[in-house]
Amino acid sequence: MLMLEMMTSVKNKICIQRINSAAAAMCIGMGSFSDPIDVPGLAHILEHMLFMGSAEFPDENEYDSYLSKHGGSSNAYTEHERTCYYFQVKDEFLKETLKRYSQFFISPLVKPKALEREILAVDSEFYKDLQNDAHRLAQLRCHTAASGC
């Protein structure tokens, strides 16, 4: 658990508000270097898809909605050799959040409509970064990696 203190000034008086927050993260040792040569972007697409529901919590927006209602947020990112998923929430909601979060890895749903939408999202991110030199270097590393990307 993490305790944050926020200081605010109200009519020349300082108020201290304590906010108890909990967080969790999980990194998986599979990233873009693990993509099959004929399916580039697969790790990134799967990163997006895991947030789209599970067998126990099938609604696509249930996780984000739950976090929003309980002072939390989440995100994920795909690197060359790993993909990381993380969240933070008010500490009293950690147990219920972990139930939802863990189901992404236990029984994720890959709904065809969501998959189509996320492929477009990942494609859009890719094309947006084509002129970015750091992205170009990453692609060069990816394509010259021993086992492909």
Kindly name the residue from 56, 79, 118, 125 that is annotated as catalytic.
Answer: 118
Which residue among 47, 56, 60, 96 is the active-site one? 47
Contacts of 131-139 with C-beta under 8 Å, sequence gap 24+, read 138/80
| Range list of H helices, 50-132 | 62-69, 94-106, 112-128
Q: Check: CB of residue 87 under 8 Å from CB of residue 93.
A: no
Whole-angstrom Cα distance, residue 98 to residue 108? Answer: 14
**Is the distance from CB of 45 to CB of 111 less than 8 angstroms?**
no
47 is annotated as an active-site residue: yes
118 among known catalytic residues: yes
Q: Which residues are catalytic?
A: 47, 118
